[in-house]
Amino acid sequence: MAHDLTLWGAGTSRTMRAHWMLFELGLEYDSRPIQARSGETLSAEFLRINPRHKIPVLQDGSFVLTESAAIIQYLNETFADSARLYVPRNARERAALGEWCYFIATELDTAGLYIMRRHDALKTTYGDAPVAVESARQYFQHNLEAMAARIKDGEYCSASA
């Protein structure tokens, strides 16, 4: 079935989430690989779609959606086939999936990786902050270890893993 899907954005973990979900769902889409901090998000064409000039942006026909977590949730609820991909059907299963998605988006990405990227890899733009970067690394590592223990001992690990 053909869909009128376009995904704007490339080069960040946030845009990768949306591309990955489209791939997992086996959906054909038009990719507009513009990058953050390149000036492309300030073009008149893009600002008409998203005046906040942030990526990723998903267009499904005339419907426009921003924020990677919202895009993934929309794609899952709109296009997922439970025979191909795990699709939670009750409130508790959706909440458990949401817990992981929001943890990754807020705690791992925003609280850790974003700080490290801004003040280490992009320090010429945002300023060097070695104490903040080290603190973010430690926080990220702590959260990874807590997450790994839960996955290892929980329902997300198969017997063959």
Domain 5-79 in CATH 3.90.660.10: no
pLDDT, tens only, 18-61: 999 999 899 999 999 999 888 999 999 999 999 999 999 999 99
Rounded to 5 degrees, φ, ψ at 66 are -115, 175
Query: What pTM does this model have?
Result: 0.70
Domains of the chain, by residue range, sit at 5-79, 91-153
Crossing angle of the two packed helices 68-79 and 91-102, in degrees rounded to 10: 150
Q: What pLDDT, in 10s, does the model give residues 63-116?
A: 999 999 899 889 988 998 877 777 777 899 888 878 877 887 777 777 777 787
- C-alpha triplet 93, 105, 53: angle, nearest 5°: 125
